[in-house]
Amino acid sequence: MTRSPGPFTGRTLAGLAADLRQGRTTSAELTRLALDAIAALNPRLNAFVTVDAEGALDAAQRAGEELAGGTDRGPLHGVPVAVKDLIMVAGLPVTMGSRHFAGHVPSADAECVARLRRAGAVIVGTTTTHEFAYGPTGDRSATGPARNPWDPSRMSGGSSGGSAAAVAAGLVPLALGTDTGGSVRIPAALCGVAGFKPAYGAIPADGVFPLSRTFDHVGVLAAGPADCLTAYHCLTGPSGRDAPARPARPGGRTGDAAWAVPPGGTAPTEPVGHGGAGPAWPREPGRADEEHRPHPHGPGDSGRVRVAWLDPGGLFPCDPRVVRAVRAVAGALEEVRLPAGAGEALRETYTTIQSCEAAAVHAGRLEEAPELFDPEVLDRLRAAAETPGWRYVRAVEARAELAEAVGVVSDGHDVLALPTVPIVAPPLGQRETEIDGKPAAVRAALLALTSPWNVLALPALTVPAGTVDGLPVGLQLVCRPGCEPLLFEVARTLRVPG
Amino acid sequence: MTRSPGPFTGRTLAGLAADLRQGRTTSAELTRLALDAIAALNPRLNAFVTVDAEGALDAAQRAGEELAGGTDRGPLHGVPVAVKDLIMVAGLPVTMGSRHFAGHVPSADAECVARLRRAGAVIVGTTTTHEFAYGPTGDRSATGPARNPWDPSRMSGGSSGGSAAAVAAGLVPLALGTDTGGSVRIPAALCGVAGFKPAYGAIPADGVFPLSRTFDHVGVLAAGPADCLTAYHCLTGPSGRDAPARPARPGGRTGDAAWAVPPGGTAPTEPVGHGGAGPAWPREPGRADEEHRPHPHGPGDSGRVRVAWLDPGGLFPCDPRVVRAVRAVAGALEEVRLPAGAGEALRETYTTIQSCEAAAVHAGRLEEAPELFDPEVLDRLRAAAETPGWRYVRAVEARAELAEAVGVVSDGHDVLALPTVPIVAPPLGQRETEIDGKPAAVRAALLALTSPWNVLALPALTVPAGTVDGLPVGLQLVCRPGCEPLLFEVARTLRVPG
């Protein structure tokens, strides 16, 4: 089974931008296409929670007038986008997928939403999240499960399941998500789209409902990696920070930051510039040479980026068909392995820190109105609240030690490649499965290959890597903070089957 | 009852340094005085755990030869000092006051001990600590309780009780301690000496057995504040960091750091220079003018340092006689109060963070050999290990919020003054007492006025402020990191009765 194509299937942000500027379409037309497709397909997918047709058409009208009048806010100007139902959008209901926030209408935009608006994007609505983003399956929400466009009986993955489904179905070309242990990358992989979790803090989390503050990231989902990079630039570059028309293209700063996470697990929050990678937008006269200068990380062109295959078996048992499919896309690479025990240590560190931080966020609600939680979410939060504090302290210490251990493995490589998720999308509601003939917990499997990069605060990109049994799989690329352009350089060289 | 004077009673580091250089004494003579006095008085006080007569006399011999040969390591050169039995001293038994470390002999010095040695100090031995520094009473240790020189039936306070008793009895002129919630200042106040807890990290804690890593400080105890400042300079200035002879006097940098604690509760780790305050050592020709230049924090001389009295009742019930005595020494000051609830919030924040961090340090010992702990320490650690992780997460957040709240109170003032401890030294072993006719827990009382400044990572100095019922009380002075010289400026203006 394959997804049925929506109005944005096969279209790129660069193509849409060109069409808008060359009169082949208008923002209003794109927005109506999005709204009509959502109306038609959402009953099947449950990707959207709230659709703001009126607000979107108004914004599209303004965007069209600005563009016609010569004000150009860059590549998102006039483009319909979706926002996860956990990121504040002023004036729209934002529910966190929870009955605790039924009817909640924030009065102010999250910073990332404000940046979207300054970039001229048209927000068409909010997308389904696992309740409070507390689950990688995407199927426990007060607003119903997000369904996988490739097979609506299967889970989208989560927690940003609605954003992934909306992009995969071609309802919008771009959506915002959040990623605490893989919540952008897991649904992106299971739904066959690209998803990018930048460095910690690169896109500010202000106005995003927290799950686990030291792991929470804002990320982007789009059909392919080039569109993720474009959105990332818009959300982090000068155009994202104030409101200029014709944003200047930031310079190609590409740092040399170490793999190691500093104490406390934070990473540089300054976004990097375009470097030598990524699409140039808007193209400025006399800047094209930047596209071709040698990359500071390799001795020469992008062919010299040092990529290694990270054996995913060191993190979790993997479906060998998924590994084969992803590895075929990654190509022939030197293979590296984590130190013995690092996989288990990363998983424990993730679980302990995330449990304590999530329980801290929800302690009041657990006390005062536990009945409003989804029962599974409630059980998990109650268990999380039992985690002793000394284990949290130990986990924070382990986080720094793991960064060193993994740094040794990746020494000599710029990018690590591995599958994003060790399995294809399970059926909705499934919690136990088999991997290579052995029993495995679905949640643990979904998170196993993505959460390490939240623990280590490393940027990670997932790109579509074909299908297994007709369901998508993702290739994940991981780098040091400051080397983000390399992820996109590598992604551009991949040849995906089908 | 008053303490019987020891060989260093009434002598200052500056006086000893002058005597050493002008041939009125030698390091060997001072060291023998210390060793003889320890031999005579320690059976009564239990201030020392291990006395290294041979090593001390060797070091004194070398110091004497260096000084005679014209090599001058500064004001500690040749001076006998003591080190808390929780700070690693290479080659000496260091037991943490615990049977877990009976006979433990570290192979390397703690960084602060290495600095003492580079400054030419003569380490005469290790001093009693409450087991693992986990208690402000100083009376639960595998090596027995430290006793108060003013009344050996009373507690020294803790956890650096032996260091305070050793200085109070005049056995040594200087001792190192550690301070996690008051463990330098509480015993200093109860034993009638001065104690200084610098900014977080100003004296490195490397090689110090941890209690609660985000609160642990290394501090100094001496008869008066001027000697604390001298020792602080030796442990943080250039002479402390490498091994020059004739250390240059650092420039008078006095920062303008905010009261606020940065996320994670850390404060600047760079020590400040002498500023306009403090004794000049070694006096260098042409530098005397620095002593008199206007202080950057006030419009003019030290009389303009803005000192406020912080109502201690906002933190804990206080013995009114202690408050009266301390306030008389502090003089007429504007009074400020903490916001309602801040005292309770500071106490809870301290207890939660310290419990989780201490339990993390001792989790293995609690599992494998609980019987080796003192029973009271064991009970407390087991209770600490039950603290849920979400409370720790909340406490870390509260720590930052409290810094802001207290910053508002202290806005417009350079130094806050309050009692160091709300009561005089209780009898050994006492756990419940009465304060102003109402029941109060001894441990909570001892910590109540000191631990807030560990939570807020603010430098704090305690100075002797007379006696109540023949037992010493302390005046505590608190400032922003970077303003340490002001504490000593204010301390120099105090007139202590008796």
Number of Cβ pairs closer than 8 Å across A and B? 70
pLDDT interval class at A304 (50, 70, 90): confident
CB contact under 8 A, B388 and A391: no
β-pair partners for B80? B122
Is residue A139 within 8 Å of A158, Cβ to Cβ? yes
Rounded Cα–Cα distance for residues A268 and A256 (Å): 11
CB contact under 8 A, A389 and B352: yes
Interface mutation target, options A392, A394, A397, A399, chain B, most CBs of B under 10 Å = A392
Contact residues, chain B, for A393 at CB < 8 Å: 356-357, 359-360, 392
Is residue A297 within 8 Å of A483, Cβ to Cβ? yes
Contact residues, chain A, for B355 at CB < 8 Å: 389
pLDDT in tens, B126-138: 999 999 999 999 9
| Chain A residue at shortest CA distance from B263 | A264
pLDDT in tens, A459-488: 999 999 999 999 999 999 999 999 999 999
Please indicate if any CB of chain B lies within 8 Å of the CB of A10: no
Active site residues of A: 84, 159, 183
Tell me the three-class secondary structure of chain B, residue by residue. Answer: CCCCCCCCCCCCHHHHHHHHHCCCCCHHHHHHHHHHHHHHHHHHHCCEEEECHHHHHHHHHHHHHHHHCCCCCCCCCCCEEEEECCECCCCCCCCCCCHHHCCCCCCCCCHHHHHHHHCCCEEEEEECCCHHHCCCCCCCCCCCCCEECCEEEEECCCCCHHHHHHHHCCCCCEEEEEECCCCCHHHHHHHCCEEEECCCCCCCCCCECCCCCCCCEEEEEECCHHHHHHHHHHHHCHHHHCCCCCCCCCCCCCCCCCCCCCCCCCCCCCCCCCCCCCCCCCCCCCCHHHHHCCCCCCCCCHHHCCEEEECHHHCCCCCHHHHHHHHHHHCCCEEECCCCCHHHHHHHHHHHHHHHHHHHHHHHHHHHCHHHCCHHHHHHHHHHHCCEHHHHHHHHHHHHHHHHHHHHHHCCCCEEEEECCCCCCCECCCCEEEECCEEEEHHHHHHHCCHHHHHCCCCEEEEEEEEECCEEEEEEEEECCCCHHHHHHHHHCCCCCC
Catalytic residue among B98, B141, B163, B183: B183
Stretch B322-345: mean pLDDT:
95
pLDDT at B381: 98
CB contact under 8 A, A386 and B388: yes
Task: Among B363, B393, B397, select the one facing A390 at the smallest CB separation.
Answer: B363
Please indicate if any CB of chain A lies within 8 Å of the CB of B262: no
- pLDDT beyond 50 at A326: yes
Rounded Cα–Cα distance for residues A423 and A34 (Å): 31
pLDDT interval class at B237 (50, 70, 90): confident
Average pLDDT, chain B: 88
Rounded Cα–Cα distance for residues B201 and B272 (Å): 12
CB contact under 8 A, A387 and B391: no
Write the CA distances from A159 to A63, A135, A163, integer angstroms: 31, 6, 9
Please indicate if any CB of chain A lies within 8 Å of the CB of B390: yes
Cis peptide upstream of residue A159 (ω within 30 degrees of 0): yes
Contact residues, chain B, for A356 at CB < 8 Å: 388-390, 392-393
Stretch A87-99: mean pLDDT:
98
pLDDT in tens, A396-440: 999 999 998 887 667 789 999 999 999 999 999 999 999 999 999
Q: What amino acid is encoded at B350 in this protein?
A: Y
pLDDT at A239: 52
Is residue A493 within 8 Å of A325, Cβ to Cβ? no
Please indicate if any CB of chain B lies within 8 Å of the CB of A363: yes
pLDDT at A409: 67
Stretch B37-66: mean pLDDT:
98
Backbone angles phi, psi at A274, to 5 degrees: -70, -25
CB contact under 8 A, A356 and B397: no
pLDDT at A295: 37
Backbone angles phi, psi at A87, to 5 degrees: -115, 125
Q: Give the number of other Cβ atoms within 10 Å of residue A293's Cβ.
A: 11
- pLDDT beyond 80 at B146: yes
- pLDDT beyond 70 at A265: no
pLDDT interval class at B251 (50, 70, 90): very low
pLDDT at A407: 78
Please indicate if any CB of chain B lies within 8 Å of the CB of A400: no
Task: Among B263, B384, B389, select the one facing A356 at the smallest CB separation.
Answer: B389
Q: B251: distance to nearest CA of chain A, Å? A: 30
Please indicate if any CB of chain A lies within 8 Å of the CB of B342: no
- pLDDT beyond 70 at A259: no
pLDDT at A237: 75
pLDDT at B238: 65
Answer with the residue of higher pLDDT: B243 or A429.
Answer: A429
pLDDT at A3: 65
CB contact under 8 A, A389 and B264: no
| Chain A residue at shortest CA distance from B386 | A388
Interface mutation target, options B393, B394, B396, B399, chain A, most CBs of A under 10 Å = B393
- pLDDT beyond 60 at A287: no
pLDDT in tens, B413-423: 999 999 999 99
**Whole-number percent of chain A with pLDDT over 70:** 85
- pLDDT beyond 80 at A294: no
- pLDDT beyond 70 at A207: yes
Catalytic residue among B27, B98, B141, B159: B159
Task: Among A355, A385, A392, select the one facing B356 at the smallest CB separation.
Answer: A392
pLDDT at B299: 34
pLDDT interval class at A323 (50, 70, 90): very high
| Chain A residue at shortest CA distance from B381 | A390
| Chain A residue at shortest CA distance from B392 | A389
pLDDT at B244: 39
pLDDT in tens, A342-397: 999 999 999 999 999 999 999 999 999 999 999 999 999 999 999 999 999 999 99
Instruction: Determine whether B153 is an active site residue.
Output: no
The model carries a pTM of: 0.87
Please indicate if any CB of chain A lies within 8 Å of the CB of B356: yes
pLDDT in tens, A7-53: 999 999 999 999 999 999 999 999 999 999 999 999 999 999 999 99
pLDDT at A196: 98
**Whole-number percent of chain B with pLDDT over 70:** 86
Instruction: Determine whether B159 is an active site residue.
Output: yes
Average pLDDT, chain A: 88
Contact residues, chain A, for B388 at CB < 8 Å: 356, 359, 385-389
Task: Among A385, A394, A397, select the one facing B390 at the smallest CB separation.
Answer: A385
pLDDT in tens, A172-185: 999 999 999 999 99
- pLDDT beyond 60 at A254: no
CB contact under 8 A, A390 and B388: no
Q: A361: distance to nearest CA of chain B, Å? A: 8
Catalytic residue among B27, B84, B141, B239: B84
Contact residues, chain A, for B390 at CB < 8 Å: 356-357, 359-360, 363, 384-385, 387
Stretch B249-260: mean pLDDT:
30
Please indicate if any CB of chain B lies within 8 Å of the CB of A404: no
**Whole-number percent of chain A with pLDDT over 90:** 82
> A5-9, A474-478, B197-201, B301-305 — which is least confidently predicted?
B301-305
- pLDDT beyond 50 at A299: no
